[in-house]
Structure 1
């Protein structure tokens, strides 16, 4: 098994990509720690996985809550081998272009999508170094590469995550901590259903025609990429930004 006896924490593990990753990591031998703000969803996934999973109710946008969660991980396991910073929000109807955005909304989106990565890494990296190394996988977006009009906060947070990934990869490689990033797009999750698909102006058929693979990505597509980056199969990869978007980002406009 690719993660045999590894201890891995996954944020946003109650649904979508995070829940898929929790199941896949556990199947590959990991003991998974589910960090999720929705207690009902988090417990449900943990119960489904069984003894290989524990759930810690955590608001990852709250620095103190994150610190308490990682203190519990240290107490329960004594080490941490992998961290998947997956938690994210896409509030398309609240996000806006920079001249129009509500600054409170901007701050909240950035706190969830980017500050949470800093908070988790701040606590995870010392534990990994103490254990001889580890792996971190961050979640960005194709928005960090190509930009999304009218989504100032989301795009800014994801761009910062890409930059942070590269900085940490260089900083902590000598201590055997690898840091990589996945930049997804077009993944069929509860988050996308609550945004794009509920917008009457969204044309799903046209969107899929602009996606070279002609389909939605599934949570398992991204979770398996995270598995690869967490496992020793990617032992010589750090600082990478893997775009997992069915090639929509590089699709010509003409």
Structure 2
């Protein structure tokens, strides 16, 4: 089936008219696919073998019906009865096969027609929709500029107060955060306070305070890591007293020396 225009993005606001045309197209396509699936046994198939010169075609439902008819004929002959009516058995199947040959092109044509109408309707509204989206984009850009400026102003305020904190924390040795001017940036976005108001250990590390002398009470200093197993081993060896085993001469004769 020919596609006249690509499917629009899901968030593009379509008019009720175009939505109705799209639904008509989707319904037609669904009817087409459903009919083919439900009546696949009546479709003519090419069953030609590679070594065969003359093409052969079969209709699965008709092949099955002929097999069943043959079984009925054999049973009738064996029972001494008259043969079943061949036309009565095969005519309905052949009628369905003939209908299939006509229905599939007709349904396909309906899909083509519905898609063409949907495509044309969508194309007719591209200009109006594009102008609306242009206005929405312009409004969004203005909002982005406002928020971006606000974010930049907020960051400058953050950097200024972080620098004043650094001056207090280092008794005037630093006037900015330790990483100010470094290739890694000042990393003030990592600023985070503990519940008691001190700079958290993680934030201080990210900001570059490792190795910088600071006054107490402004940064949460991590507790020393204690290896309990190592401490226990050290205590063992600190208090260790080896046992002394003194040999006795009893039972070893007069020549025993110790």
| Larger fraction in helix | 2
Flag the structure with more relative contact order, 1 or 2, with Cα contacts below 8 A and sequence separation at least 6: 1
TM-score by length of 2: 0.19
Calculate the TM-score normalised by the size of structure 1: 0.19
Report the structure number with the largest CA radius of gyration: 2
